[in-house]
Structure 1
Amino acid sequence: MSMQKRMIVAVSVATVWTKPESPRPLDESALKHPVEIREWLRRMTIDDKLDLWEGNRIQTQILYGTSVLVAEELEDWIKVLIPQQGTRKEALGYPGWVPRCQLVIEPEAPAGLKRAEVITAQAWLYRNPSERSIELSYLTSLPVLDETEQWVKVKTPEGAGYLKANEVRLSDGSLIPEPGEGHIGCGIVEQGRRFLDLPYLWGGMSSFGYDCSGFAYSMHRYFGISIPRDASDQAKQGMLIAKEQLEPGDLLFFAYEEGKGAIHHVGIYAGDNRMIHSPESIKSIEIMDLSSYKLAKEHCVSRRYWG
Structure 2
Amino acid sequence: MPTSNKYVVNVPVATLWTKPESARDIDKEATTKPLNIEAWLTKMDYDNRLDLCEANRVQSQVLFGQAVQVLEESGVWAKVVVPEQPSKKDERGYPGWIPVCQLTPDADWDLANGPVAVVNSGKAILYSSGREPVMELSYQTILPLQEKGSEYITVKTPDGIGLLKAEDVSMRTGIDNRRKGNGQDIVEAGKQFLGLPYLWGGMSSYGYDCSGFSYSVCRANGYTIPRDAHEQADAGAEIELDKIQPGDLLFFAYEDGKGSIHHVGIYYGDGKLLHSPKTGKTVEIIDLEGTIYEKELCAASRYWQETEE
Q: Same fold (TM over 0.5)?
A: yes
Q: CA deviation at 1:4?
A: 6.2
1:175 match: secondary structure: helix
1:154 corresponding residue in structure 2: 155
Q: Distance in 2 between matches of 1:129 and 1:190?
A: 35
Q: Which residue identity lines up with residue 54 of structure 1 in the other structure? A: E
- Consecutive unaligned residues of structure 1, counting only runs of 5 or more, are none
Corresponding residue number in structure 1 for 2:240: 242
Shift of 1:112: 4.1
1:116 corresponds in structure 2 to: 117
What is residue 10 of structure 1 aligned with on the other side?
10
Distance of 1:112 and 1:76 partners within structure 2? 32
Contact 1:137 1:206 in 2 (8 A): yes
Q: Give the Cα separation in 1 of the matches to 2:113 and 2:214.
A: 29
Q: Kindly tell me: are residues 248 and 4 of structure 1, through their superposed partners in 2, closer, same or farther at Cα, counting changes over 3 Å?
A: farther
Q: Which residues of 2 match residues 154-233 of structure 1 at below 5 A?
A: 154-176=155-177, 178=179, 184-233=182-231
- Aligned counterparts, 1:139-150, within 5 A: 139-150=140-151
| Structure 1 residue 94: Cα displacement | 0.2
Q: Aligned to 1:258, what secondary structure does the other structure show?
A: helix
Whole-Å separation in 1 of the counterparts to 2:135 and 2:239: 41
CA contact 2:8–2:109 (8 Å) conserved in 1: no
What is the RMSD of the two structures over their aligned residues, measured on CA atoms? 1.7
Q: 2:285 is matched with which residue: 279, 284, 287? A: 287
CA distance in 2, matches of 1:115, 1:250: 27
1:256 aligns with 254
- 1: distance between equivalents of 2:151 and 2:252? 45
- Measure the CA separation in 2 of the matches of 1:62 and 1:201: 14
8 Å Cα contact 1:176-1:223 kept in structure 2: no
Percent pairwise identity: 49
Q: 1:131 to 1:2 in 2, by over 3 A?
A: closer
TM-score scaled by length of structure 2: 0.95
Q: 2:152 & 2:191 partners in 1: Cα distance?
A: 27
Residue 266 (structure 2) aligns with:
268
Question: Residue type of the partner of 2:217?
Answer: M
Deviations 1:107-130 (A, max 9, x none): 535884311110000000001353
The normalised TM-score by structure 1 is 0.95
Alpha carbons 1:3, 1:69 under 8 Å: kept: no
**Cα distance in 2 for residues equivalent to 1:177 and 1:170:** 9
Partner-residue secondary structure (3-state), 2:212: helix
Contact 1:113-1:145 at 8 Å conserved across structures: no
Look up the SS of the partner of 1:160 in the other structure: strand
CA distance in 2, matches of 1:17, 1:165: 33
Structure 2: segments with no counterpart, 5+ residues: none
**8 Å CA contact 1:260, 1:300 repeated in 2:** yes
- Per-residue deviation, 1:295: 2.7
C-alpha distance in 1, partners of 2:245/2:259?
25
User: Structure 1 counterpart of 2:161, which letter?
Assistant: A
Question: Which residue number corresponds to residue 50 of structure 2?
Answer: 50
> Aligned pair count?
304
Q: Distance in 2 between matches of 1:3 and 1:108?
A: 12
- Alignment match, 2:129: 128
Deviation, structure 1 residue 259: 1.2
